[in-house]
Chain A
């Protein structure tokens, strides 16, 4: 029969105390994996959104393909990549980036579509070029919706990073997987609790960043 965490209490603070350094390293790894995924995801999503906004007919196929990527369970997506890219950070990042695309593209396109035609009309009337219209009018006005997308994508990715422990990466997922395999509950609880904490902190930081980026929304009180 299985002996769970042999003897002793359910949660062992002494283990936490002895492993603070290792825990910190995994937190940093977790955040790095997340930041890279969101950064690359944003670049690709922005490109595809521009294509979809310029050529409307491409929007349906783009969301269809990214939607299928989004539907594939994370472990399966990583497993599909392993034979080609190995148990590597690259495999983890390809998978993580894939999951950000649908969320980000939807929000970027919806945000820019939400800019009122009168505003656009006024800018064109003032002689704005297409490029300036996009960067100085449409993008800032779409920012609340885009940041909302980034927040969902970031929370999703922070959760999915834990799964990459199965392919030898994982950030805090490392502790979850090791605790699972050795019936050491303390490690599971530390891994899950800290990854939830990271998700909450990053979400709040992004919400704060959005308020700083869009002072006009605050003044109107529309928040």
Chain B
């Protein structure tokens, strides 16, 4: 049978779909961790980014964060996360008080730490610049109408910053989904398992099938955000977004 025929019959085998190492569970793990990471990244990065953007403070910090994020390859971030989590799991000594904040330094934690480190810089940087670059005339007008600083941020600057923040979320999400694939290298699950296990077992069919699934999930993530743009962006400012493509990872 041809190679692609073998791949088709791999997808046609029920055993490859069900169970802990089946396609369905791997997709679920992959999406779950990616979504969780994005939620944490937004919660951690967005409030300070918007507040600092409103006061236009910390521009130098933004530049540093973005450049660092760009220069370190995502594979490198994952690799650096492993020593960090392994050492944490072995226990840290805080002024004579020894404890282990996490139970295992493998699997979930290094993957999560790496993905978070990838997602935070673009969200922070774009949130900051988006609020900072809101037309000062508009902000002045709002201030003249008697809006408080908090109201200006909430009802003028944040809505006007939405297209850029949304674009950043899109870039970060695709990056996170892409890099989650590498989590298999540190014993996490997700769709990367098929590729990494396939390499280890010299099973080209499994490698290829896993790659197809990962590619589809990444393209689907991108498409979901493109589609969601319609309702995520306030109608009055639609089309103002920065159409940045997701970064290769």
Bound-state Cα–Cα, A99 to B192, Å: 20
Cβ of B29 under 8 Å from chain A: no
Category for how many chain A residues contact B: 35 or more
Q: Which residues of B contact A70 (CB under 8 A)?
A: 245-246, 248
User: Which single member of B73, B105, B219 contacts A160 (CB below 8 Å)?
Assistant: B73
A159 and B195 within 8 A (CB): no
Question: A-B pairs with CB below 8 Å: how many?
Answer: 135
B72-85: contact bitstring with A at CB < 8 Å (1 yes, 0 no)? 11111001101100
User: Which single member of A75, A102, A185, A189 contacts B245 (CB below 8 Å)?
Assistant: A102
Given contacts A76-B211, A77-B211, contact A71 B174 (CB under 8 A): yes
A195 and B76 within 8 A (CB): yes
Bound-state Cα–Cα, A71 to B219, Å: 6
A-contacting residues, B214-229, CB 8 Å: 214-215, 218-219, 222
B248 and A156 within 8 A (CB): yes
Q: Which residues of B contact A180 (CB under 8 A)?
A: 79, 82, 185-186
B83 and A73 within 8 A (CB): no
User: Which single member of A4, A71, A156, A192 contacts B80 (CB below 8 Å)?
Assistant: A192
B90 and A189 within 8 A (CB): no
A72 and B218 within 8 A (CB): yes
Q: Which residues of B contact A73 (CB under 8 A)?
A: 177-179, 181, 214-215, 218, 249
User: Which single member of B70, B179, B215 contacts A155 (CB below 8 Å)?
Assistant: B70
Bound-state Cα–Cα, A73 to B90, Å: 32
The prevalent SS among residues of B at the interface is helix
User: Which candidate, B127-135, B139-147, B202-210, is the interface stretch facing chain A?
Assistant: B202-210
Cβ of A20 under 8 Å from chain B: no
B214 and A75 within 8 A (CB): yes
Cβ of B87 under 8 Å from chain A: yes
B-contacting residues, A135-166, CB 8 Å: 155-156, 158-160, 162-163, 166
Q: Which residues of B contact A99 (CB under 8 A)?
A: 248
A residues apposed to B, CB below 8 Å: 2, 4, 10, 67-68, 70-80, 82-83, 99, 102, 155-156, 158-160, 162-163, 166-167, 173, 176-177, 179-180, 183, 185, 188-189, 191-192, 195-196, 199-200
- Beyond known contacts A70-B248, A82-B204, A192-B72: 10 more, CB 8 A cutoff: A10-B87, A71-B174, A71-B219, A73-B179, A73-B214, A75-B182, A159-B74, A162-B76, A183-B86, A191-B79
Question: 15 interchain pairs (CB within 8 A)?
Answer: A2-B106, A75-B181, A75-B211, A76-B181, A77-B211, A79-B208, A80-B212, A80-B215, A82-B204, A82-B207, A102-B245, A183-B82, A185-B83, A196-B73, A196-B76
